[in-house]
Structure 1
Amino acid sequence: MGQSQPLKRWPVLVVEDEPILRLDAISMVEKAGFEAVEALSSADAIQLLEERLDIRLVYMDLDMPRSRKGIEIAAAIRKRWPPIEIILTAAYFTRESVELPERAEFYSKPIDHDEVIAAMQRLIEANESRPA
């Protein structure tokens, strides 16, 4: 039983500094039928968002010690690129311990792939139907 495929392979920016977790997230994004775009840090993520105007979803780890705080990056993404949907994940934070940007969703690690894939598909569908 496969996942339903989106009509277009929307690129999803995966921001994760841990190689094993990044590979897992990329696999999940591709399983959902999206194109995975990798970023190893928040600086990489910002550069990719500046270059790739087609990105409409960011999947980002908040626990990146070598980067600016993940929640600050998420807030900056929301402010600078309002149409982009955001999914945040973390092992050391809870949904209640962070102030999420508007329209951002949070999932604790270890994540449930099916739950996050469903969220990705729902957010992209909502993004496509939102007026520009």
Structure 2
Amino acid sequence: MHRLRSSSPPYALVVEGHSLVRMDAVSILEGAGFRVLDVATGEEAMRLLDKHGAEFALLFTAVGLSGHYDGFALARKAASDHPHIGIVVASGHHMPAPGDLPDSACFIKKPFSADVVYNHLQRILPDDTKPEPLRSISEPLQG
């Protein structure tokens, strides 16, 4: 992975154990203008974040992950180690309890739609890290 230039679309990391849900999340984020990498486990995500954390603008993770890191633990570790990264945590079974999510993260329920994801991204991402298509998508939502 190379250093991002300001004209390059930002990277998003999708972490989801279910391949069809992961493909859906990747498609939604690509539609928003991100370059997307996807992995199935929290450990794989932490390896990428440890090596290339400065390159990512967004972490999109499920709660239910196999291995040491569930989505809540992954979100807290990512927020601690890489505070510049926007974080979205999604689940259809687990609601966050106090302390589960870092202050900078947001939670969405599965199943999610592109509109729900885009609205959350509008809230959590600074304007300078939003890819151009996401900025364009937001214009009708603000009017």
TM-score, normalised with respect to structure 2: 0.75
> Which residue of 2 is the match for residue 11 of structure 1?
11
AA at the equivalent of 2:47 = Q
Map 1:50-65 → 2, pairs under 5 A? 50-52=50-52, 53-65=54-66
Whether contact under 8 Å (2:41, 2:66) holds in the other structure is no
Instruction: String of CA shifts for 1:43-78, please: whole Å, max 9, x gaps.
Output: 110111122221021000001134422211111111
Deviation at 1:8, TM superposition (A): 4.1
**Counterparts of 1:15 and 1:70, CA distance in 2:** 8
Partner of 1:26: 26
Contact 1:12 1:35 in 2 (8 A): yes
Aligned counterpart, 1:3: none
Measure, in 1, the Cα distance between the counterparts of 2:46 and 2:99. 21
Q: Which consecutive residues of structure 1, in runs of 5 or more, have no partner in the other structure?
A: 1-6
Query: Contact between 1:85 and 1:127, CA under 8 Å: does it hold in 2?
Result: no
Contact between 1:56 and 1:85, CA under 8 Å: does it hold in 2?
yes
Gaps of 5+ in 2: 1-6, 131-143
Given the alignment of the two structures, is residue 83 of structure 1 paired with residue 70 of structure 2, yes or no? no
Sequence identity, in percent?
25
Q: Distance between the aligned counterparts of 1:76 and 1:90, measured in 2?
A: 18
Inter-partner Cα distance in structure 2 for 1:115 and 1:8: 25
Question: Following the alignment from structure 1 to structure 2, what is the Cα–Cα distance between the partners of residues 47 and 39?
Answer: 10
- Cα distance change on mapping 1:19 and 1:98 into 2, 3 Å: farther
Aligned to 1:68: 69
Please say which of residues 97-106 and 30-39 is displaced more in the overlay.
97-106
2:42 alignment partner AA: S
Structure 1 residue 31, shift from structure 2 partner: 0.7
Structure-2 separation of matches of 1:72 and 1:127: 27
SS at match of 2:55: coil
Mapped partners of 2:14, 2:71: distance in 1: 13
Corresponding residue pairs, total: 123
Task: Give the TM-score, by structure 1 length.
Answer: 0.81
Cα distance in 2 between the residues matched to 1:65 and 1:29: 23
